Amino acid sequence: MVERLVAGRHHLSRAEVAAHQKQRLFKALATVMAANGYINTTVDDVIKEAKVSRATFYEHFDSKQDLFMSGYGRAQRLIIAAIREVPVTGTPMERFGVMLDRYLGFIALDPIRARLYLLEVYAAGPEAMRRRVELQQEFVAGVAQIFDARDDADLFSCQALVAAVSTLVTNALTRGDDVTALRGPILAHTARVMDRG
């Protein structure tokens, strides 16, 4: 939990204070949008939840959209880093299992924030959707590398697998289910359609 800094003198640098304020704003955004959705969330809602001033908000972000996209970019970089750090040894299925564990683990770690960026992204406009497609393509590239996709048919299989995983995770988050329970069924399905040994 990111709590408000104590007013008055402290031993934090300006950069540390700014980073703390941004963290509170990102957390507030996730909390408020989980309750209200993207469309019905206002800057006033976010600053009230974050307990920062309007001036502080606008020191860091130009708008609600700017805050959302900045938070989405941060989440995107963390997910990509996690899913791309797959061991180079082991069978393709073992390596895919590691990638899947990291992805599901990241989602399970903060389901409210994951829900925000997997569901509310649809309401956040074309720029947000472009970023979502970029993230999905990073995941596809990782899967294609693991399964040594050699042609368009192989690449399509990787894209279909990633689209299925994304849909299953999104549906689980919508229902409030534990996303890590998807691991077994996803791996079993992947073994049937992708495994080449």
Distance between CA atoms of 10 and 17, rounded to whole angstroms? 10
* Residue 94 and residue 86 in contact, taking contact as beta carbons nearer than 8 Å: no
Burial degree of 146 (CB within 10 A; 0-12, 13-18, 19+): buried
CATH architecture for segment(s) 65-193: Orthogonal Bundle (1.10)
pLDDT-derived band of residue 195, with 50, 70 and 90 as boundaries?
Answer: low
Per-residue confidence (pLDDT) for residue 39, from 0 to 100:
94
- Please list, in sequence order, all residues whose beta carbon lies within 8 angstroms of the beta carbon of residue 192, skipping any fewer than 6 positions away: none
CATH architecture for segment(s) 14-61: Orthogonal Bundle (1.10)
Average pLDDT value for the chain: 88
For residues 6-30, average pLDDT: 80
- 36-84: pLDDT as tens digits: 999 999 999 999 999 999 999 999 999 999 999 998 888 888 888 888 7
Per-residue confidence (pLDDT) for residue 112, from 0 to 100:
85
* Domain assignments of the chain as residue spans, ordered by start: 14-61, 65-193
Per-residue confidence (pLDDT) for residue 126, from 0 to 100:
92
- Please list, in sequence order, all residues whose beta carbon lies within 8 angstroms of the beta carbon of residue 78, skipping any fewer than 6 positions away: 106
Q: Which of 79, 68, 61, 169 is nearest to 124 (CA)?
A: 68
